[in-house]
Amino acid sequence: MVIGQQRNLLALAQNFAHFFAHESCGFCTPCRVGSKLLSQYLDKLAAGHATCIDMELALQVCNTASLYSHCGLGKSIGNPLLSLQQYFPQLMAQCLQPDSYTPQFDLDAALFEARRITQRDDAAAHLANDYRHAHS
């Protein structure tokens, strides 16, 4: 592949991760589960919610898939992320949040529809800030 300088490398790696998750035949766990985990991780990274802990876990998934997958596809699923980490560490560092952990999605926002249906919007119908910080 020839990749222009203007290309968003993170989006490219995200695209590869989705491709591998879709193409995994599911025969072996490191590839079947690992490709899905990496896909979710790159989604989180692209959304600006990933932290260094997420990155460590993702790199473990890359190593496990590389060592224990049955065929070449599974052994390759970590390559896009590993290449980004190896050749563009400053880009990766810019994408990571300084917090120890941030959730992949906003649970309080996800409860919007439930609040609308129940016609509740009082404080008890929202996740408290101290709950969010206790789990971050």
Interface contacts to ligand SF4, rule CB under 6 A: 24-28, 31-32, 69-71, 73-74
Q: In angstroms, what is the minimal distance from the CB of 130 to ligand SF4?
A: 42
Nearer to ligand SF4 by C-beta: 74 or 80? 74
Nearer to ligand SF4 by C-beta: 28 or 52? 28
Nearer to ligand SF4 by C-beta: 4 or 72? 72
Query: Could you give the 3-state DSSP secondary structure of residue 128?
Result: coil
In this chain, which residue has its C-beta nearest to ligand SF4?
A: 74
Q: Where are the beta strands (DSSP E) in the chain?
A: none
Q: In angstroms, what is the minimal distance from the CB of 82 to ligand SF4?
A: 16
CA 108 to chain centre: 20
Q: In angstroms, what is the minimal distance from the CB of 63 to ligand SF4?
A: 14
CA distance 75 to 62: 8
Q: What are the CA-CA distances from residue 51 to residues 21, 42, 122, 124 (Å)?
A: 22, 11, 32, 29
Q: In angstroms, what is the minimal distance from the CB of 11 to ligand SF4?
A: 23
Q: Phi/psi of residue 127, each to 5°? A: -70, 130
Burial zone of 46 (CB within 10 Å; 0-12 exposed, 13-18 middle, 19+ buried): middle
Nearer to ligand SF4 by C-beta: 73 or 111? 73
Nearer to ligand SF4 by C-beta: 78 or 102? 78
Q: In angstroms, what is the minimal distance from the CB of 24 to ligand SF4?
A: 4
- Residue located via tokens 């890359």: 62
